[in-house]
């Protein structure tokens, strides 16, 4: 099987340029908004039109208007593109601050010694993180049981785990 070393052009290539031209009814204003040259906008729209197989704009020397195909494409592409932008912002926000459930498996003795003093300040610093602590005498398989991390005695750390020293003899063990 022959390997391809280029990425196939996607269905979204040129859509942002199209939407900007449609909004401004101007290739020049769209280029200024997106920080590129009018030629780059024109080429992006031309490639999009070729891929779609229909002209999206009626261009004259003085004006730019949408064709019927352009109107229909705009009505479907605009909300879809806005949704993709919103999805990107949500993902970026999640990547910049911790959120969600943090599951910890710890020995019972660790809770009053290490966790209680830290838990209130951690929850205050990261209010969007919900902490679930499973305190037990048994050593559980962190990955198999769905834990994010665990605290273990130094000698009980599996070879394939990442361990960070805490107060001796304990280590924080992180899953994958």
pLDDT of residue 141: 86
**Domains plus CATH for the chain?**
15-95 (1.10.10.10), 100-174 (3.40.190.10)
Average pLDDT over residues 74-79: 96
Residue 97 has pLDDT above 70, yes or no: yes
pLDDT of residue 5: 56
The C-alpha atoms of residue 62 and residue 65 are separated, in whole angstroms, by: 10
pLDDT of residue 29: 95
Q: For 155-165, what is each residue's pLDDT tens digit?
A: 666 777 788 88
Q: For 22-76, what is each residue's pLDDT tens digit?
A: 999 999 999 999 999 999 999 999 999 999 999 999 998 888 999 999 999 999 9
Mean model confidence pLDDT for the chain? 87
Which tops the pLDDT comparison, 57 or 151? 57
pLDDT of residue 7: 47
DSSP string, 16-76: HHHHHHHHHT-HHHHHHHHTS-HHHHHHHHHHHHHHHTS--EEE-SS-EEE-HHHHHHHHH
pLDDT of residue 3: 59
Residue 6 has pLDDT above 80, yes or no: no
The C-alpha atoms of residue 14 and residue 77 are separated, in whole angstroms, by: 11
pLDDT of residue 2: 58
């Amino acid at each position: 099987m022959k390997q391809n070393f280029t990425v196939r052009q996607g269905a979204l290539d040129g859509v942002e340029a199209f939407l900007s031209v449609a909004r401004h009814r101007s290739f020049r204003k769209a280029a200024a908004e997106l920080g590129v040259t009018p030629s780059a906008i024109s080429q992006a729209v031309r490639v999009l039109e070729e891929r779609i197989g229909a002209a999206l704009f009626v261009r004259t020397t003085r004006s730019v208007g949408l064709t019927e195909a352009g109107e229909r494409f705009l009505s479907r592409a605009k909300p879809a593109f806005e949704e993709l932008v919103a999805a990107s912002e949500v993902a970026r926000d999640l990547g910049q601050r911790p959120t969600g459930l943090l599951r910890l498996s710890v020995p019972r003795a660790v809770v009053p010694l290490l966790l209680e003093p830290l838990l209130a300040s951690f929850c205050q610093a990261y209010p969007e993180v919900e902490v679930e602590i499973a305190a037990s005498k048994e050593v559980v398989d962190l990955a198999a049981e769905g834990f994010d991390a665990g605290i273990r005695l130094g000698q009980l750390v599996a070879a394939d785990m990442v361990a960070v020293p805490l107060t001796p003899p304990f280590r924080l063990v992180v899953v994958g």
